[in-house]
Amino acid sequence: MDCHRIRGLLGLYWDDEVSPDERRDVEEHLATCTACSADLDEIRAIACDLAAPAHVEVPDALWSAIEHRLDHEPAHGSRTGSIQFFRTPIAKAAAVLFAAGLGLWAFAWLDGAATRATASQVDFSVLLDALPVDARKAFMKFLVFYDAGESSPSGARQYAPDLNFGLPEDLPGGFRLEKVYLLRFGKLPGVAATYGRDDDFVGVVFHKPICQENHGMHRDYPCDIGKHKAQKVSVGDWRLVHLADPTTCHCVLSRLDEHDELPAVMSAVAPKLTASSPHGH
């Protein structure tokens, strides 16, 4: 399939409006075409900008100016009747205009809030802010925040069939699968799991690549995970690493060395990831 046809499908693909066959064709093409992958990244960036809530500022001096005009109108003479008649409409009109302006701002804010509630967004600050205290409890706090329910690897695959992820019973390094969870980010499904090894653990989260991830006060930086380029956020000894392909963002919380240990873990939880897949966010 040529690039011309794929580029015509990228917008529909991003909006999840393609057929299963078209989705397969697009994803197979993206896995080997860096140019079309870059076009998808551009669509993602544009969608980010459009999804950002609008901000309309109400001038601080608006009410002062209205009050000044009303307070300094003549109160006597032949115009008294008309002034008294128009003072209320003027004030009402000003209030309506003010309310309309505030309404636009409020509508924009509420619309943005509704978008945040319905679109796929992940608030990782819930997890990251609590990491210094207890990493395992921080991960559970994140799961509770998204009303996670326990499941199984097979149940997770049925719940999120469009996501590319692996949930093996054992991860490289001796980590054993503990529990699998089903989450929902807005309207889109997500999957998470915990792995344990003695007193250590690894937490994984899978979700559809999205335009917004909230890391709160924590910054994410580029990093290399084996042959892949990814993003990471570091909090003390812990690292939250994000590695994305066209269908799935693979997020791994661990203390593993990102050069020696983490690449093998990433390969286990993202078995279909290729070196030419889009990476990072």
Question: How remote is the C-alpha of 29 from its chain's centroid?
Answer: 25
Half-sphere exposure of residue 149, counting CA atoms within 13 Å on the CB side? Answer: 6
pLDDT on residue 49: 58
Average pLDDT over residues 47-73: 55
Answer with the residue of higher pLDDT: 117 or 48: 48
pLDDT on residue 191: 97
Contacts of 242 (CB under 8 A, 6+ apart): 213, 220, 230, 231, 232, 249, 250, 251, 280, 281
Question: Does pLDDT of 115 surpass 50?
Answer: no
Average pLDDT over residues 149-155: 94
Question: Does pLDDT of 205 surpass 90?
Answer: yes
What CA–CA distance (Å, rounded) separates 54 from 65? Answer: 26
pLDDT on residue 11: 78
Question: Does pLDDT of 196 surpass 80?
Answer: yes
122-269: what fold?
A: Protein Transport Mog1p; Chain A (3.40.1000)
Average pLDDT over residues 144-154: 92
In Å, what is the CA distance from 230 to each residue of 82, 223, 252, 275?
Answer: 70, 5, 11, 11
pTM of the model: 0.59
Using only the alpha carbons of the chain, give its radius of gyration: 26
Question: SS3 for 137?
Answer: helix
3-state SS record for 202-226: EEEEEECCCCCEECCCCCCEEEEEC
pLDDT on residue 158: 95
Question: Does pLDDT of 146 surpass 60?
Answer: yes
Question: How remote is the C-alpha of 226 from its chain's centroid?
Answer: 25
What CA–CA distance (Å, rounded) separates 93 from 63? Answer: 12
Question: Does pLDDT of 168 surpass 60?
Answer: yes
In Å, what is the CA distance from 165 to each residue of 18, 156, 266?
Answer: 21, 10, 10
Going from N- to C-terminal start, the domains of the chain cover: 3-51, 62-118, 122-269
Question: How remote is the C-alpha of 279 from its chain's centroid?
Answer: 16
Average pLDDT over residues 189-206: 95
What CA–CA distance (Å, rounded) separates 14 from 173? Answer: 36
pLDDT on residue 38: 79
Token pair belonging to 121? 């967004």
For the CA atoms of 161, 164, 170, 172, the dihedral, rounded to the nearest 10 degrees, stands at 180
Written as one string, the DSSP assignment of 65-114 is HHHHHHHTS--SSTTHHHHHHHHHHHHHHHHHHHHHHHHHHHHHHHHHHH
Contacts of 126 (CB under 8 A, 6+ apart): 141, 142, 145
Written as one string, the DSSP assignment of 9-25 is HHHHHHTT-S-HHHHHH
In Å, what is the CA distance from 185 to each residue of 12, 35, 122?
Answer: 20, 29, 6
Per-residue model confidence as pLDDT tens digits over 233-242: 999 999 999 9
Question: Does pLDDT of 246 surpass 70?
Answer: yes
Long-range contacts, 26-35 (Cβ 8 Å, 24+): 26/246, 27/246, 27/247, 28/1, 29/1, 29/3, 30/6, 30/246, 30/277, 30/278, 31/245, 31/246, 31/274, 31/276, 31/277, 32/276, 33/3, 33/6, 34/276, 35/3
8 Å CB contact between 249 and 189 = no
Average pLDDT over residues 132-138: 91
